[in-house]
A = this chain, B = another copy of it.
Amino acid sequence: MLVSELGEFGLIERFRKSIKTDASVIKGSGDDCAVIHFDQDKYLLFTCDMIVEGVDFLSDTKPELIGRKALAISISDIAACGGIPRYCLVSLGLPEKISVKTVDRIAAGIFNLAREFKVNIVGGDLSRANRLTIDISMLGFVEKKNLVLRSQAKEGDVIFVSGNLGGSISAKHLNFTPRLKEARFLVKNFKVNAMIDISDGLAQDLGHILEQSRVGAVVYQGLIPLSKKARNLEDALYTGEDFELLFSLSQDEAERLCAKRLNLFKPIGEITAKKYGLRLVDKRGREKTLQPKGFKHF
């Protein structure tokens, strides 16, 4: 059987079953970051993301944007757990014929975003590769009380997103600003039950929260904020790389958030019992089951 037949998540699930971790690991694979014991007040967050030419960017993508994206997706993972990014390592797989100028521009994209988000670049590795490949691993911290996983969404919670969805492929996936400030505002001021960053599309990433939290959800089409670049609802539901936060709050907390009239966080639905699965209510009030599908590498 080929990996392309088993599928990305089938393969990940296969691995997860055979991995055992010790008591210092609060949360291993299966969330935006691994969560590791640090001290009395804080956890370590640890995450990595690999981007590859031809998959995550094209050979004619501006090198600064390639570097920027490579770092931004890891910062977004740390943000989705409620934490603060601190240190990263950069593994670069470079084609033999790449120019120093191009590598300088990739590095500038990484370095500038690192400065902006106060991330220390503490090393890396350099290898020859067939296609340009960047893998960034990142360490961050989160106060124990501020940690948010995918697994604590509760029936009755209101589901929010932090911005417009869909159409990221036109540009946003390369120059989005990780929602770190927004995530920190949320965890410091509200009890966020579950959070994830939308990297593979609303339906699939909400599906991860539902699976990990053992709940269902209903989402209202009329409430999903579409980006100007989205061609249609499907773009928002099933295409990836919006890198907006998707999170759930209890009704009371949701009301507190809405009362702030921030015009940034939009309620889009509600967490339900698991048996109802994932449903979409269209603008005429008709309900249908939503497949938790989206971008997959395989």
* Residue ranges of A at the interface with B (Cβ–Cβ < 8 Å): 1-6, 8, 11-12, 14-15, 18-19, 21-22, 24-25, 28-31, 33-34, 36, 39, 44, 46-52, 54-56, 86-87, 89, 91-94, 96-101, 103-104, 107, 111, 118, 120-131, 133, 135, 137, 139, 297-298
Q: Which residues of B contact A2 (CB under 8 A)?
A: 96-100
Whole-angstrom CA separation of A86 from B24 in the bound complex: 10
Given contacts A4-B96, A11-B126, A29-B123, 6 further A-B contacts (CB under 8 A): A3-B99, A25-B87, A28-B120, A29-B124, A46-B89, A52-B130
Q: Which residues of B contact A98 (CB under 8 A)?
A: 2-3
Q: Which residues of B contact A101 (CB under 8 A)?
A: 1
* Distance of A22 from chain B, by nearest CB (Å): 6
Q: Which residues of B contact A50 (CB under 8 A)?
A: 91-93, 125, 127, 129, 133, 135
Most B CB contacts (10 A, CB to CB) among A22, A94, A133 go to: A133
Interface residue from B11, B91, B128 paired with A49 (Cβ < 8 Å): B91
Q: Which residues of B contact A1 (CB under 8 A)?
A: 99-101
Whole-angstrom CA separation of A97 from B123 in the bound complex: 33
Contact yes or no, A111 B48, CB < 8 A:
no
Q: Which residues of B contact A48 (CB under 8 A)?
A: 89, 91, 123-125, 135, 137
Name A15's closest neighbour in chain B (CB-CB): B107
In the A-B complex, list the 6 residue pairs whose CB atoms are closest, starting with the nearest. A137-B137, A34-B122, A29-B123, A135-B135, A50-B91, A48-B89
Contact yes or no, A131 B129, CB < 8 A:
yes
Whole-angstrom CA separation of A48 from B123 in the bound complex: 8
Name A22's closest neighbour in chain B (CB-CB): B120
Q: Which residues of B contact A96 (CB under 8 A)?
A: 2-4, 298
Contact A123 B47, CB 8 Å, known A2-B97, A36-B87, A103-B3: yes
Interface residue from B15, B91, B107 paired with A135 (Cβ < 8 Å): B91
Q: Which residues of B contact A92 (CB under 8 A)?
A: 50
Most B CB contacts (10 A, CB to CB) among A48, A49, A51, A92 go to: A48
Whole-angstrom CA separation of A100 from B2 in the bound complex: 5
Q: Which residues of B contact A121 (CB under 8 A)?
A: 19, 21, 28-29
Contact yes or no, B21 A137, CB < 8 A:
no
